[in-house]
């Protein structure tokens, strides 16, 4: 029972850090909402929790002039059996104040997580620092922002179009679809849901070997490629075996 109360107080102290991480990671193109286990979350939330609690202690103790007995709090977490009956009375009297303190630090943790996410996005810190990448990895890849990563050649601002070659399996063998990437939809849990392509040409992988050309349907410029009819071609992620991505830039000259 004593251990449970100590753990509960410890969790309440760490909880603002957990909310900070939740607010930082959650968003429209997020990498993930939460790690899989509570243990992982507690470990990764320790730093923001420490910073939030330090700031809260400073404000409460030095600005609001409400005395916090830190050594008593430590004994409360670690050695509850050593607490005297008079100190238990102090605990009872402090429950309301501690609850208000916990609620305020939790709200602060959530809001500061959102603020930090905004700052990271605004100043592209997620591009510079790997540990701050809150977006889904497919987002960086398909938007071309992967070019902005340190040590990668290129600049996403130069991209005029993204061409993809998608390898997919069919009953007649492996097919490669080549087209212009128009849209992509990310799924929850760090994944890709589907991609939309236009101007799609398909070819069989086997056609790369000489002497295995299939009967032509609409071969416009390369005997291996057949133009796919339709304006938009949708490929669900489950159908994608692998994907090759090329970023293109247009150079214009007036005639």
Partner 1 sequence: MEAPLGNTVRKILNDKDASKKLMQTIILGERFGDKNEFINIEDKKIKIHRVTSLINNIGKKTER
Q: Which residues bind partner 1 (CB under 8 A)?
A: 29, 139, 142-144, 147, 153-163, 178, 180-186, 198-199, 201, 220-222, 225, 246-255
Query: Which tokens hold the place of 18?
Result: 């957990």
- Smallest gap from Cβ 172 to partner 1, in A, equals 21
Q: Which is nearer to partner 1, 28 or 211 (CB)?
A: 28
Backbone CA torsion sign across 141, 192, 248, 208? positive
Q: Confirm if 127 and 145 have CB atoms less than 8 A apart.
A: yes
CA distances to 60, 75, 89 from 83, in Å: 24, 8, 10
Q: How far is the CB of 247 from partner 1 (least distance, A)?
A: 4
The string of DSSP letters for 161-211 reads: EEEEEEEEEETTEEEEEEEEEEEEEEETTTEEEEEEEEEEEEEEGGGGSTT
For residues 114 and 182, which CB has a smaller minimum distance to partner 1 in the complex? Answer: 182
Task: With both helix axes pointing from N to C terminus, report the angle between 70-78 and 2-25 in degrees, rounded to the nearest 10.
Answer: 110
Comparison of 69 and 222: residue with beta carbon closer to partner 1? 222
The residue among 77 and 213 lying less far from partner 1, judged by its C-beta, is 213
Question: What does the alpha-carbon distance between residue 88 and residue 185 come to, in Å, rounded to a whole number?
Answer: 55
Minimum distance between the CB of residue 179 and partner 1, rounded to whole angstroms? 8
Residue whose CB is less far from partner 1, 99 or 158: 158
Contact 138, 228 (CB under 8 A): no
Q: Quick one: CA torsion of 163, 194, 235, 175, rounded to 10 degrees?
A: 70
* Shortest Å distance, C-beta 174 to partner 1: 17
Q: Which is nearer to partner 1, 13 or 181 (CB)?
A: 181
At its nearest, how many Å lie between partner 1 and the CB of residue 221?
4
CB of 44 to partner 1, least distance (A): 27
Packing angle of the helix pair 2-25, 38-58 (nearest 10 deg): 90
């Amino acid at each position: 029972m004593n251990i449970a109360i100590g753990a509960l107080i410890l969790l309440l102290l760490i909880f603002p850090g957990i909310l900070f991480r939740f607010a930082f990671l959650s968003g429209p193109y997020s990498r993930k909402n939460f790690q899989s286990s509570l243990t992982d979350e507690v470990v990764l939330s320790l730093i923001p929790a420490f910073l939030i609690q330090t700031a809260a202690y400073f404000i409460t103790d030095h600005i609001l002039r409400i005395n916090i007995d830190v050594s008593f709090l430590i004994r409360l977490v670690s050695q509850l059996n050593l607490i005297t009956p008079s100190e238990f009375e102090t605990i009872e009297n402090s429950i309301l104040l501690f609850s208000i303190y916990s609620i305020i630090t939790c709200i602060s943790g959530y809001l500061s997580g959102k603020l930090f996410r905004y700052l990271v996005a605004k100043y592209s810190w997620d591009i510079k620092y790997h540990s701050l990448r809150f977006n889904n990895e497919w987002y960086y890849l398909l938007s071309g922002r992967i070019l902005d990563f340190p040590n990668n050649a290129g600049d996403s601002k130069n991209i005029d179009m993204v061409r993809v070659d998608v390898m997919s399996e069919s009953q007649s063998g492996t097919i490669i679809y080549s087209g212009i990437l128009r849209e992509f939809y990310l799924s929850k849990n760090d994944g890709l849901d589907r991609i939309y392509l236009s101007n799609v040409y398909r070819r069989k992988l086997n056609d790369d070997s000489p002497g295995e050309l299939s009967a032509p349907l609409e071969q416009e410029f390369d005997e291996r490629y057949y133009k796919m009819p339709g304006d938009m071609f949708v490929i669900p992620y489950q159908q994608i075996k692998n994907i090759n991505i090329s970023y293109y830039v247009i150079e214009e000259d007036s005639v």
